[in-house]
């Protein structure tokens, strides 16, 4: 099973880009990488996901390395409300067999 590794914490200045790394060196070719965030004790909120190509949506960009062993979540203009714990998740199986492996998460602190 693929596992993910994230730094435990990061700081970012408000208005600057936040780049959150994730290592998933044992990921297999048909597994997706998902990013979620959690603010306080609320339910995790979906941010973005990808398989091989880089992805962008209204919240963030996801950069996946060519060998797929790592990825970076980019919040282009971080705000104070982006302060949260960010989870990088690999979803196992070609047909969504269900098992999710969470990393320990990165606590992002956005500072004024």
Partner 1 sequence: EAQVTQNPRYLITVTGKKLTVTCSQNMNHEYMSWYRQDPGLGLRQIYYSMNVEVTDKGDVPEGYKVSRKEKRNFPLILESPSPNQTSLYFCASSSRERGEKLFFGSGTQLSVL
CB nearer to partner 1: pick between 12 and 37:
37
Q: Which is nearer to partner 1, 14 or 109 (CB)?
A: 109
Q: Does 96 bind partner 1 (CB under 8 A)?
A: yes
Report in angstroms how near the CB of residue 74 gets to partner 1 at its nearest: 18
Helix (H, G, I), strand (E, B) or coil at 81: helix
Q: In the chain, at which residue ranges do the beta strands (DSSP E only) sit?
A: 9-13, 18-23, 32-38, 45-50, 55-56, 61-64, 70-75, 84-91, 100-102, 106-111
Site residues (CB under 8 A) for partner 1?
30, 32, 34, 36, 41-46, 49, 51, 87, 94-100, 102-105
């Amino acid at each position: 099973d693929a596992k993910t590794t994230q730094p435990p914490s990061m700081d970012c200045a408000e208005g600057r880009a936040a780049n959150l790394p994730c290592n998933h060196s044992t990921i297999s070719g048909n597994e997706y990488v998902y990013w979620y965030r959690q603010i306080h004790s609320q339910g995790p909120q979906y941010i973005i996901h990808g398989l091989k190509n880089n992805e962008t949506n209204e919240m963030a960009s996801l950069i996946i390395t060519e060998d797929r062993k790592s990825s970076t979540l980019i919040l282009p203009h971080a705000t104070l409300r982006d302060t949260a714990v960010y989870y990088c998740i690999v979803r196992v199986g070609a047909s969504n067999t269900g098992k999710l492996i969470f990393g320990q998460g990165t606590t992002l602190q956005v500072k004024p």
